Amino acid sequence: MTTAHAPAKVILFGEHAVVYGRPAIAVPVSQVRACAVVDDAPKGQGIVIHATDLKLQQQVGAPIITDDPAYPLEATVRHTLERLGIEGIPDLTLTVSSTVPMASGLGSGAAVSTAIVRALAQHFGRRLTSHEVSDLVYQTELIHHGTPSGVDNTVIAFERPVYFVKGKPIEILHVGQPFWLVIGDTGTRSPTRDVVGDVRCAWQAKPDKYEALFDRIGTIAVQAREAIGAGEVRALGKLMHENQELLQAIGVSSPELERLIGAARAAGAMGAKLCGAGRGGNMIALVSPEKAQAIAVALRKSGAVNAIVSEVKLPQSVNGKQASL
């Protein structure tokens, strides 16, 4: 039996604009994780996938349609076996579970895919680099989201805070001083593919307007990288407010998100904004550690179905200010 895990993620700055070549900042969230377990199976079984959260069982190779919930799981398995050079269909049972909320901006699909890739590689005694894992997971992200930015698979596969620009070398984000977030879940599912598609249609209809909005969001991400590196935590709060106003202008906020963002600010958060695709899913609040639990309680009282407290810091294994991965 082989077990592997992968964390969730949140985008701090740069949602939507990152799809159009502007920078984004994202960090892993280890408090919720996906898990994949691979067991050898009786000869002739082939590969059977058990997805406990989706309440499904799928035989790899059985007839499947592309909008079936099992399709991304099977595609991840097939792509990984191909990368590992495994010919044919081995006899395995793959059990997948996750505490990452689905369709909520926390990278649930990428977390599950990453756990699957790692578990299969480890089961066959192969080592895949984080780059290779990220590339494999990106293939599944294309199925989930249509036009993904690449942020989710990157930050989850590397499990590092990252500064990301599509098509450019990824940078580990230097964190000058640890800071704390409270992540509030509206309970409203928000399929990334749909929201990203709507924004693309709006951009095509009014390219000048949206390019200007994306430019301003990109500028905020650059300023946030400088503030994070310098340990200027309070400066991030103002940048969050500005980023949220631009996301409102893009049309991806929602009454549920606005209610939680307002509740966090009223309870003493330094800043708050939606995270991920928007129109539901999660929001994030920048908080002092002393106020974190009180703000989490305030979010729940305002309708959040869950609130996660997470610390952002540079892993001890990474030294220096910035490094390309």
Q: Residue 77 carries which side chain, given as an amino acid letter?
A: V
Residue recorded with tokens 């991806």 = 252
Please report, in angstroms and rounded to a whole number, the separation of the first and last CA atoms in the chain: 31
Residue 127 CB neighbour total at 10 angstroms: 7
Whether the Cβ atoms of residue 141 and residue 188 lie closer than 8 Å to each other = no
Helices (H), the chain: 71-84, 108-123, 130-145, 151-158, 192-205, 207-230, 233-250, 255-266, 292-301
Comparing CA positions, the residue from 262, 241, 194 lying closest to residue 16 is 194
Give CA torsion, residues 127, 35, 284, 224, to 10 deg. 0
Cα 289 to Cα 7: distance, rounded to the nearest angstrom: 21
Q: Is 152 a catalytic residue?
A: yes
* DSSP β-ladder status, 2-13 and 24-40: antiparallel
> Which residue in 67, 152, 194, 198 is the catalytic one?
152
Catalytic positions: 152
